Structure 1
Amino acid sequence: MVLLENDAFLTELTRLFQKCRTIGSVVITLKKYDGRTKPVPRKGHPETYEPADNKCLVRASDGKTRISTVVSSKEVIKFQMAYSNLLRAHMDGLKKKDKKSKSKKTKAT
């Protein structure tokens, strides 16, 4: 997995969306990230670890290529605005709702 800067991540995510436009899908996950690279110790060995600030780990994958970035709390608003604009631009492949099924249900009752 490649850890990228925020702007480079958004650029690569755009490329993933363009590559998977006709066939395929892009999976995006977000989770809280505390900066640890090692697993949490067991109960017998307590360790006091306080993260400096809250961070978010964003991952994207198309099945073959995996990219990720870490967004700090200071950069969240800027990243979120760019990320939401990117998602709006590339969410045109969604299927429309079938309105016929809704009218059939009302007629049946």
Structure 2
Amino acid sequence: MFLTELTRLFQKYRTSGDVVITLKKSDGRTKLVPRKGHSEAFEPADNKCLIRASDGKRKISTVVSLMGFLVFCFYLCFFSFCTCYIF
């Protein structure tokens, strides 16, 4: 689903405009980190990555595992290669 929406963003701004992609390491938390003395038992998730994409008006995001991150990188390299050399 994320890759489909990202493809739509790229196609929409193929000739003009920008799509900004950010990557961030994620530990799987959905809430803020608790203060000292109020710690909860929390096991951080290993090797997760938060991927965000925006065109300035619309934002999409997803959290992926290490394997999902590698698939995303392959997709991004393939897509950018195809769009750069087709014109």
TM-score, scaled to structure 2:
0.79
Worse-superposed segment, 28-37 or 81-90: 81-90
Bigger radius of gyration, 1 or 2? Answer: 1
TM superposition outliers: structure 1 runs of 4+ over 6 Å: none
Partner of 2:60: 67
Partner of 2:33: 40
Aligned length: 85
Worse-superposed segment, 33-42 or 49-58: 49-58
Partner of 1:11: 4
Counting aligned pairs with the same residue, the percent is 64
Once the two structures are superposed, what CA deviation does each residue of 1:84-107 show, in whole Å capped at 9, x if it has no partner? 212323356xxxxxxxxxxxxxxx
Q: 1:56 aligns with which of 25, 39, 49?
A: 49
TM-score, scaled to structure 1:
0.66
The 3-state SS of whatever aligns with 2:67 is: coil
Which AA in structure 2 matches 1:79? Answer: F
State yes or no: 1:86 paired with 2:85. Answer: no
